[in-house]
């Protein structure tokens, strides 16, 4: 590929932080879910509000940290505790929280 200084820019690092925060800190599947959300939302926003995309993502990040600090994984745990037990058994053989 190509090494470009633009990769380490503020907007790209912001997207990486947003992926982790939206998905859920300290989880295995959280950043995967977060990456789907951020990439799809970024593509949808780029068509009609490309100049404001960083501002929109900043608002999303603030709301996520304020109301759902665990991200998507916290929402999944609230909705389906049974799924959470299967996830914990997959991640840790003892079934204990990490």
Asked if residue 90 belongs to a domain, the reply is no
How many domains are there within the chain? 1
Asked if residue 50 belongs to a domain, the reply is yes
Does residue 3 come out as left (phi exceeding 0), alpha (psi in the -120 to 50 range) or beta? beta
User: Average pLDDT of 1-17?
Assistant: 74
Nearest to 87 by CA among 95, 68, 79: 95
Report whether pLDDT(98) > 60.
Answer: no
79 three-class SS: helix
pLDDT one-digit tens code per residue, 56-72 = 888 888 888 888 778 88
Asked if residue 92 belongs to a domain, the reply is no
What pLDDT is recorded for position 95?
Answer: 46
pLDDT one-digit tens code per residue, 26-57 = 778 888 888 998 888 888 887 777 778 778 88
Q: How many CB atoms lie within 10 A of CB 11?
A: 10
pTM of the model: 0.66
Asked if residue 43 belongs to a domain, the reply is yes
53: domain range? 10-73
Asked if residue 27 belongs to a domain, the reply is yes
Asked if residue 98 belongs to a domain, the reply is no
CA atoms of 17 and 8, how far apart (whole Å): 12
């Amino acid at each position: 590929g190509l090494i470009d200084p633009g990769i380490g820019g503020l907007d790209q690092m912001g997207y990486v932080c947003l992926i982790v925060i939206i998905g859920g800190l300290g989880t295995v599947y959280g950043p995967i879910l977060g990456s789907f959300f951020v990439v799809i939302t970024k593509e949808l926003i780029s068509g009609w509000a490309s100049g404001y995309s960083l501002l929109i993502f900043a608002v999303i990040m603030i709301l996520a940290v304020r109301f759902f600090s665990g991200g998507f994984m916290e929402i999944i745990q609230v909705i389906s505790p049974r799924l959470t037990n299967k996830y914990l058994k997959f991640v840790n053989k003892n079934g204990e929280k990490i």
